[in-house]
Amino acid sequence: MASFHLKSVLFVVAIFAIFSITQASDPDILSDFIVPPGSAIDGNLFTFTGTRGIFGSVIEKFKVTKASKAEFPILDGQSVSLAVLQFPRGGVNPPHIHPRAAELLFVVQGSLEVGFVDTSNKLYTQTLQVGDLFVFPKGLVHYQYNSDWNKSATAVSGFGSANAGTVSLPTTLFATGVDDQILAKSFKSDVSTIQKIKAGLSS
């Protein structure tokens, strides 16, 4: 009897844990918006000007302009953020993940080759043109690449979190102090190759 009761309790706890995980997102707020400390409540509070002048500008190197909770504090609790990605000719946004949100990418200039890898290690790719949208599921490794060496490209990405987070795989693996031996064994390589990769990322 006690065993049946314990199993019942564990089952309920497991169901609650699974439900909590599947419902994970930005926490709901109990007001219309959250006012950052020291802010005046007027139209300026809800306006972000950090993307002014970037459309139509000359793109020399890959650049991301974010409008997330860090740059636009009124987004706290709103479960939304945005980024403008600018690609020079041949530019790449290296493989990375967003642990807290899916990404919906909208191409507004040029073309992009995009792809993501699912948890069964299957790669899904597409070549996007102006006006195309592509979704990168939450937490999966993905990239964007402007393979056109004649034209730059620009895309706008929307996220279902005020702070989607970005984990860049090259930086995380090779520029954070992970031991060279561990990386060499993990990539079935050698220490000198790992050190060359690290040197390339620091230049």
Number of H helices, E strands in the chain: 4, 10
> What is the torsion angle, in degrees rounded to the nearest 10, for the CA atoms of residue 185, residue 190, residue 195 and residue 200?
-100
- Say whether 142 counts as a known binding-site residue: yes
Ordered alpha helix ranges (H), the chain: 2-22, 169-174, 180-186, 191-202
- Tokens coding 111: 């073309």
- Say whether 5 counts as a known binding-site residue: no
- Say whether 103 counts as a known binding-site residue: yes
Q: DSSP assignment, residue 186?
A: H
Output the known binding site for oxalate.
Answer: 93, 98, 103
Residues of the binding site for Mn(2+): 96, 98, 103, 142
Annotated binding residues: 93, 96, 98, 103, 142
